[in-house]
Amino acid sequence: MERNTCMILALDVTDREEALKIAEDVWEFVDAIKVGYPLVLATGLDIIRELAEFAPIIADFKVADIPNTNRLICDQVFEAGADAIIVQGFTGRDSLDACIEIASEYRKDVFVVSEMSHPGGAEFLQPAAEAIAKIALEAGAFGLVAPATRPERVKKIRKIIGDKLTIISPGVGAQGGKASDVIAAGADWVIVGRSIYKAESPKEAACEIAEEIRAELCGE
């Protein structure tokens, strides 16, 4: 995945036409579109190929099963045209290895959730986040998911993984995180949903956040 705007759109709408319209409006401001359960359950898996016309697609199914089931899920997702998949790391190394094995057959990427952005993410997942980051590194994942709502945690996780893995970071805007803060903390991409797709003008909202990130990276 190329790093230009450093922003990923979380397209959590449930209407096909609306999804396609937003993608058409904002594609130039995002490096990828994240598609998850809300949109796929509402419209079907074919939406992945339709949206792939606009940007690379990250399939957010937070895969969390035994190795064999993970393999079957990843196979379906990559057959559907996704460029990357998001999986959970708490299920352990063998489950993660199964996802990475299928992804490498398709030459696609795996992102591993290390810590979640909502308040409950600090309950069970945060204590395991650093160990999850280490197994993701050893297993050969492409990147980690770390919370924009806690830039200090992004900084800590970046220290553990160095430059060997990328970090994508949800929680900007509606959940209280600030894009420039989390990019400064070491995230490669921020993930933004409601602040864009619920805005009166998704295009203007995306443009504004992209500009904030650009200014941070240029030290303005």
Binding residues for substrate: 12, 34, 60-69, 117, 170-180, 193-194
The structure tokens listed for 152 are 């200090």
Ranges within 48-87 binding ligand O7E (CB under 6 A):
60, 86
Least CB distance to ligand O7E at residue 154 (A): 11
Q: Smaller CB distance to ligand O7E: residue 96 or 168?
A: 168
| Residue 97 is a catalytic residue | no
Q: Binders of ligand O7E: how many residues, by CB under 6 A? A: 22
Q: Which of 83, 91, 117, 206 binds ligand O7E (CB under 6 A)?
A: 117
In whole angstroms, give the CA distance from residue 196 to residue 166: 23
Segment interacting with ligand O7E (CB under 6 A) among 44-52, 72-80, 154-162, 165-173: 165-173
Q: Is 194 in the site for ligand O7E (CB under 6 A)?
A: yes
Q: What is the DSSP string of 84-145?
A: EEEEESTT-HHHHHHHHHHHHHHT-EEEEE-S-SSGGGGTTTHHHHHHHHHHHHHHT-SEEE
Segment interacting with ligand O7E (CB under 6 A) among 20-28, 70-78, 151-159, 170-178: 170-178
Collect all residues with Cβ–Cβ distance below 8 Å to 194 and sequence separation of at least 6.
Answer: 12, 173, 174
Q: Is 10 in the site for ligand O7E (CB under 6 A)?
A: yes
Minimal CA–CA distance to 116: which of 187, 37, 169? 169
Per DSSP, 188 falls in state S
Catalytic residue ranges: 60, 62, 65
